[in-house]
Amino acid sequence: MLQLQKQVAGVIREYNLFSANDRVLIGVSGGPDSVALLSLIFNTSRTDPSYSEIFIAHLNHSIRGRESDEDEQFVTALAERYGVPLISKKMDIIEIARERKISLEEAARDERYKFFESAAEKAGVNVIAVGHNADDNAETILHRIIRGTGITGVGGIRPKRKLTPVSTITLVRPLLFTWRKDITAYLEEENLSYRVDSTNIEKDKLRNRIRLELIPYIEGNYNAKIKKSLATLGETALQNSDYLEAKSKALFEDVLINREEPMETIALDIHKLKESPQILQQMIIKEAIIRLNIPLKKLSNRNYKDILNTLNSKKTSAISVVKEYLNVRREGNELHLSKNKYCAEEIPVLSETEIKVPGETELADMNCRVTTEIREIKNGFLEEFKRNKTADEEAVDFDKVCMPLTVRTRKPGDRFQPLGSHGLKKIKDFFIDNKVSVMERDTVPIVTMNGEPIWVVGFRIDDRIRVSEETTNLLVMKFDT
């Protein structure tokens, strides 16, 4: 289907999704969108080279048991067929969702993007491409409208953005302006097989009901082109949102009083803030919250209104707490916003404790224990361990480890070299990149060697102690309650 290939190539050029020197990681689940994306990008490069090298990333989330394993096998065969390097990982998303007490969908999304970032670092990639299409965008906009959203949410999915606000990796969506029916037609014409996710037809999920029931009902009874209307709405809202965001960021610099780094507290000039339209006032507050590294999704529109109401308080000093995340204080003509420090008082911080190697160490402060053992690499132990391990288990090269090991929570200035990377990274920046909420960061155990972090438990080990082809002895560490 040459027309679709031309369309995607046009989108890549118009939105500058790739450049000739880019190394691109394509997220491939095995579903129709990702299979088509791989084929189109691979074929487009033959006539109009738009990148230097591509890789495939696949996360086996284990949600559908054997079906998930078959998806991984399918993608492995796909990578071999195209001759493209594959980076894959298997995780138990159901267990992760249970442990974090969040929905399966949220856990799957969070872990997928964490994996993409890790895979990108491993491959030295600067662009990640995923297969969201025009139908996905329309469904997302309608989903957000139903649940309640503002102008930014109505803007829907962006064709290009940073993976995280502070990331150097770009996330792109070359199929965002392609309808699902055209993708299916392309696959049929190119005789490309794909996997079907059985959970996409389960009607206990709101997103599925919107796709399978609500949109067809609106198409049949109200507007046959509702998806196109929603996409147009999203495009217009995105343009407005981008303008307002640029305007608010410029105003933020004018309203900001203190400029010390790091910004633990932000002070804003109330007189200048009140001179701005209310929509920009709210976006200025949002910019302050972003700079304080407080998760935006935890605050509702009502919370923003409560903060802005403080501007009109007749009290010379007014103090309030927003959602246990944010302290808001008015002092004369200054509005002070700061992270709520309740976590330091109510959540026990782990004092530095030496780990028994081998053996078991109780961590009373966090009501858990760490178990260690030394194993030889033989009889397939490492392969079996990798297949079954959880996020709280790791195996490292024992001969690269210096005793004693200790465990504690983070300290200012902590740095380590995340697995797959080539340089040191601040633990604080690592937490930001991995979307660890401000309230959780002081509760994450960190294993240290010579006083320096070597394992951020639940996330990543240091690259310098990783298992290599020369490894003969393993140090296996496990945290559990």
428: its two tokens: 């604080």
Instruction: Tell me: do 55 and 138 sit in the same domain.
Output: yes
Distance CA 79, CA 330 (A): 58
Query: Looking at residue 265, which CATH number applies to its domain?
Result: 3.30.465.60
Q: Is 275 within the bounds of a domain?
A: yes
Report the DSSP pairing between strands 353-355 and 160-162: unpaired
Q: What is the pLDDT of residue 158?
A: 94
Mean per-residue pLDDT, 414-423: 91
pLDDT digits (tens, 9 = 90+) for 336-382: 888 765 433 334 457 789 999 999 998 876 778 899 999 998 888 88
pLDDT, tens only, 197-215:
877 766 667 888 999 999 9
Domain that holds residue 472: 348-480
**Cα–Cα distances in angstroms (integers) from residue 135 to residues 160, 226, 264, 345, in the given order:** 17, 11, 41, 47
Structure-token pair, residue 275: 């001179």
Residue 246 located in a structural domain:
no
As for how many domains the chain has, the answer is 3
CATH number of the domain within which 30 lies: 3.40.50.620
Q: Are residues 142 and 120 in the same domain?
A: yes
Residues 178 and 69 in one domain: yes
In this predicted structure, what is the pLDDT of residue 374?
94
Domain-terminating residue out of 286, 305, 340? 340
Across 144-158, 270-284, 307-321, least confident range: 307-321
